[in-house]
Structure 1
Amino acid sequence: MASDDDNSSFNSSIKSDVRIGVPFPFKPTPTSTDDTANATVGKIAVGNGGSSQMGRRKKVMPLEHGCEDNWTWSNRYRSKEIVLSGPNSRTVHFHPNWSKGTAGVQGKRPLNNGRFYWELHVSQRVFGTSIMFGIGTKQARLHANSFRNMLGENEFGWGLSHKGVLWHKGVALLYTKRFKENHPTVIGVLFDGIEGTLTYYKDGKCLGVAFRGLDKIKEPLYPIVCSTAAKTEMTLRCTRRDFVNLQDRCRAEIIKHVRTRDDLAKLKLPPLITQYLSEVVNDEAPLRQVDNYDIFWDL
Structure 2
Amino acid sequence: MATLPLRHGCDDHWTWNRRDRSHEVRLYGPELRVAHFHPDWSCGTAGVRGTRVLNNGRYYWELCISQRIFGTSMMFGIGTRRARLHVDLFRNLLGEDEHGWGLSHKGLLWHSGRWTHYTKPFRENEATTVGVLFDGIAGTLTYYKDGTCLGVAFKGLNEVREPLYPIICSTAAKTEMTLALMKRDFVNLQDRCRAVILKQVRSQSQLDKLALPQRIKAYLSEPLADTIQPFQPVNTYVNSV
**CA shift for structure 1 position 183:** 0.9
Residue equivalent to 2:131:
188
Does the Cα contact within 8 Å between 1:103 and 1:143 map onto a contact in 2?
yes
Match of 2:235 in 1: none
Contact 1:126 1:183 in 2 (8 A): yes
**Corresponding residue number in structure 2 for 1:71:** 14
The letter of the residue matching 2:34 is T
1:242: Cα distance to partner?
1.0
Residue 14 of structure 2 contacts residue 225 of structure 2 at CA under 8 Å; is this kept in 1?
A: no
Q: CA distance change for structure 1 residues 282 and 75 in 2, over 3 Å: closer, same or farther?
A: closer
Residue segments in structure 1 that go unaligned for 5+ positions in a row: 1-54, 286-295
1:269 aligns with 2:212: yes
Q: Normalising by structure 1, what TM-score? A: 0.73
Q: Distance in 1 between matches of 2:206 and 2:43?
A: 48
TM-score by length of 2: 0.90
Q: Could you say which residue in structure 2 is the equivalent of 1:95? A: 38
Deviation at 1:69, TM superposition (A): 1.3
Alignment partner, residue 150 of structure 2: 207
Pairs within 5 Å for 1:47-58:
55=1, 58=2
Mapped contact 2:68–2:127 kept (Cα < 8 A): yes
How far apart in 1 are the matches of 2:177 and 2:118? 22
State the Cα deviation string for residues 163-210 of structure 1 (Å, max 9, x = none).
111011111111001101101111000000110000000011100000
Tell whether the 8 Å contact from 1:136 to 1:223 is kept in structure 2 after alignment.
Answer: yes
Q: More relative contact order in 1 or in 2 (CA 8 Å, sep 6+)?
A: 2
| Paired positions, count | 230
Residue in 2 that maps onto 1:246 = 189
Q: 1:219 aligns with which of 135, 153, 162?
A: 162
* 2:68 counterpart of 1:125: yes
Find the aligned partners of 2:32 and 2:72 in 1 and give their Cα distance. Answer: 26
Counterpart residue number, 1:148: 91
Give the direction of change, closer, same or farther, for the CA distance of 1:197–1:260 in structure 2 (3 Å limit). same
1:259-285 CA-to-partner distances (Å, cap 9, x unmatched) read 344543454222222232233346989
5+ residue gaps, structure 2, are: 233-241
In structure 2, the residue matched to 1:61 is: 4
Which letter maps to 2:21? Answer: R
Question: How far apart are residue 86 of structure 1 and its match?
Answer: 1.1
- Does 1:234 pair with 2:177? yes
Once residues 87 and 68 of structure 2 are traced to their aligned partners in structure 1, the CA distance between those partners, rounded to angstroms, is: 20
Higher strand content, 1 or 2 = 2
State the match for 1:160 in structure 2: 103
State how far apart, in whole Å, the 2-side matches of 1:282 and 1:112 are: 19
Report sequence identity in percent.
Answer: 66
